[in-house]
Amino acid sequence: MVLTILAQIQAVPGKEDALIAEMHKLIAATRQEAGCLQYDMHRDNDKPGFFMFYENWETRDLWLDHMKAPHLAAYNAATKGWIESLTLNEMTRVG
C-alpha cells in the first residue's frame, strides 16, 4: 500500500530564501531513492515562509530509509535553527 507523506514546514522569519535553497537540493536526490514515487515541494501563495512536501512512497519502510539518507542528514544540519515548526503526516489513500 502506498504511503503518502505531508511534510509541512514553517520557516523562521528571515530564513525563507535560505531554507528554500536547501530544500531544492533534496528533490533530485530523493526522487532517485528506492521506493520514491513522488516528491514535490510547494510554497504557500499567501505565506511565503510556509512550505509543504507532498510525497508518495511504495512502503513505509522505504520512507523510513529516506529519513536516514545522507542528503536528508546534510539538509537537517544546514538548516538547524531555520525551521519554526515541522509537521509530518503519514497518510493512506481511502478513496
CATH of the domain at 51: 3.30.70.100
What tens digit of pLDDT does each residue of 9-56 get?
A: 999 999 999 999 999 999 999 999 999 999 999 999 999 999 999 999
- The tally of domains found in the chain comes to 1
Arithmetic mean of pLDDT, 54-71: 97
Query: In the numeric block, which cell numbers belong to residue 25?
Result: 537540493
How would residue 79 be classed by pLDDT, with cut points 50, 70 and 90?
Answer: very high
Q: How many residues does the chain have?
A: 95
Q: Write down the pTM of the prediction.
A: 0.93
Q: Which of 15, 92, 17, 13 is nearest to 56 (CA)?
A: 92
Q: Which amino acid is at 26?
A: L
pLDDT, residue 95, reads 84
Question: Residue type at 19?
Answer: L
Grid cell 528533490 is found at: 27
Q: Which domain holds residue 33?
A: 3-91
Round to whole Å and give the CA distance between 83 and 12: 5
Q: Give the single-character DSSP code of 15.
A: -
